[in-house]
Amino acid sequence: MLSTRNKIQLKAQQRLLSILTHYEASIYRAMSLVLIGLWVMTLAYGLYSGEFVLALVGGGVLTLGGLFFTAVLRSERWTPIGLAVVFMLIVSLQVHIMGGMIEIHFGYFVLLAILLA
């Protein structure tokens, strides 16, 4: 039979495990939304510059790759690495689509800040 103190410790451990489990799921959900937002931005840049097909196909492939990491793989090791690579490739695609505009390069810094958070 468990003492009152052991019951309290067990409940506290269960709550901590629940918080950590839901925290990871919310991070994956947030990263998925960032990926979809990046794809929408890439499509807008493609419409503006006349490279819509490249934005649709290239951005779509990269977004699906990132969603694979967040929705299917969910590995503690490979998901952060894969998302970092996908984020940087999407910004590289955006820079290419916009013809190397300096302003678009700030996307690298924004996504690095998101990855650090």
Does residue 110 form part of some domain?
yes
Does residue 6 form part of some domain?
no
Does residue 19 form part of some domain?
no
Q: How far apart are CA 82 and CA 95, in angstroms?
A: 20
Instruction: Give the structural domain span for 46.
Output: 26-116
Does residue 44 form part of some domain?
yes
Nearest to 90 by CA among 104, 79, 73: 104
How is 72-116 classified by DSSP, letter by letter? II--TTHHHHHHHHHHHHHHHHHHHHTTS-GGGGHHHHHHHHHHH
pTM across the whole model: 0.81
Structural domain total, the chain: 1
- The SS3 call for residue 1 is coil
pLDDT tens series, the chain, 117 aa? 567 888 888 888 888 888 877 888 889 999 999 999 999 999 999 999 999 999 999 999 999 999 999 999 888 889 999 999 999 999 999 999 999 999 999 999 999 999 987
Does residue 61 form part of some domain?
yes
Does residue 8 form part of some domain?
no
Does residue 101 form part of some domain?
yes
Q: Do residues 94 and 107 touch, judged by C-beta distance below 8 A?
A: yes
Does residue 63 form part of some domain?
yes
Nearest to 88 by CA among 69, 70, 107: 107
